[in-house]
Amino acid sequence: MMETLARAVADAFMQVGVYVGLMLVFFGWLQWRTGERSPRSCSGIDTGRR
């Protein structure tokens, strides 16, 4: 019983980790692809960087 529960919890954490990793790769690529036109530079918040 405990082994089954531990395996299910480990699988859930692994799935979340893979999903987050894929999202980080995607948004990193998107920022690299768009360059200075990234959503962060269009947010209207003045960071002092140009």
Question: How do residues 29-39 score in pLDDT, each as one tens digit?
Answer: 988 888 766 55
If you average pLDDT over every residue of the chain, what do you get?
A: 82
Q: What is the mean pLDDT of residues 10-21?
A: 94
Q: Answer with the residue of higher pLDDT: 18 or 42.
A: 18
What whole-number distance in Å separates Cα of residue 4 and Cα of residue 19? 23
Backbone angles phi, psi at 47, to 5 degrees: -95, -5
Q: Say which amino acid occupies 47.
A: T
26 close to 33: Cβ distance less than 8 angstroms: no
Q: Which residues contact 27 (CB under 8 A, 6 or more apart)?
A: none
Given this model, what pLDDT does residue 45 score? 61
pTM, two decimal places: 0.55
Q: How confident is the model at residue 40 (pLDDT cuts 50, 70, 90)?
A: low
Given this model, what pLDDT does residue 31 score? 86
